[in-house]
Chain A
Amino acid sequence: EAQVTQNPRYLITVTGKKLTVTCSQNMNHEYMSWYRQDPGLGLRQIYYSMNVEVTDKGDVPEGYKVSRKEKRNFPLILESPSPNQTSLYFCASRRREAYLYEQFFGPGTRLTVL
């Protein structure tokens, strides 16, 4: 089954404790992206990647890191999480050509930083 998977689905952590949220897709998509969703603000793009070793900042990259060492994986790293990073996070992927192809989203990771 074609899908985007994220782990963990739920995470409660404390300020300053490094964490990684994994994202994997099995559709051989070139493009992958991370978003956060907050009430009243909607979904905002954090980082995206057009292919292996190619990453770019979205609208809200501060406090986050990403890497794209393999085509299928695009982990989101919070080196020193803070309470304002409490949010619902989504990973997405699609084929390269933006004008042709739709994005597919993972199930989301609900992160709480205490």
Chain B
Amino acid sequence: KQEVTQIPAALSVPEGENLVLNCSFTDSAIYNLQWFRQDPGKGLTSLLLIQSSQREQTSGRLNASLDKSSGRSTLYIAASQPGDSATYLCAVSPTHTGNQFYFGTGTSLTVIP
């Protein structure tokens, strides 16, 4: 069964700092990896989707990379802002299970003004 791990569980940084969030998964046979943001008491907002054939995706200040062979993905946030404070989740869709979806437990990010 696919296991997804996110380290650290919580991170606090001063405003303006660049930061990296980590996601690792045990089975490299995946269709894609998706990064989400979750605000307290709210639903999930999709940030980036990386297909298995891609190495990275960018959207504004966010850049996500994927290294399937090592089972790792990183989410890079440039010039962090207080509005970036949220929990960040990664999820993978393994190929052999077709349509199941496995989430990490998330990294809670606090950006201090």
Q: A residues bordering B, Cβ < 8 Å? A: 31, 33, 35, 40-45, 48, 50, 56, 58-59, 90, 92, 98-108
Contact = CB atoms under 8 A, between A and B. Distances in A.
Q: Which 9 A-B pairs have the closest CB atoms?
A: A99-B31, A42-B105, A43-B103, A105-B44, A102-B49, A107-B43, A98-B31, A102-B46, A42-B103
Interface of B: 1, 4, 31-32, 34, 36, 41-46, 49, 51-52, 89, 91, 93, 95, 98-106
Contact of B99 (A31, A42, A59): A31
Given A42-B103, A42-B105, A42-B106, A99 B93 contact: yes
Nearest to B101: A45
A107 B49 contact: no
9 contacts: A42-B103, A45-B100, A45-B102, A58-B100, A99-B51, A101-B49, A103-B46, A105-B46, A107-B43
A108 B42 contact: yes
Contacts, number: 64
Contact of A99 (B4, B32, B101, B102): B32
B32 A90 contact: no
Contacts of A43: 89, 91, 103
A55 to B, nearest CB: 11
Given A45-B100, A45-B101, A98 B93 contact: yes
Contacts of A45: 100-102
Nearest to B94: A98
A35 B44 CA distance: 12
B22 to A, nearest CB: 15
A100 B101 contact: no
Contacts of B102: 45
A98 B46 contact: no
B43 A98 contact: no
B12 to A, nearest CB: 19
A105 B43 contact: yes
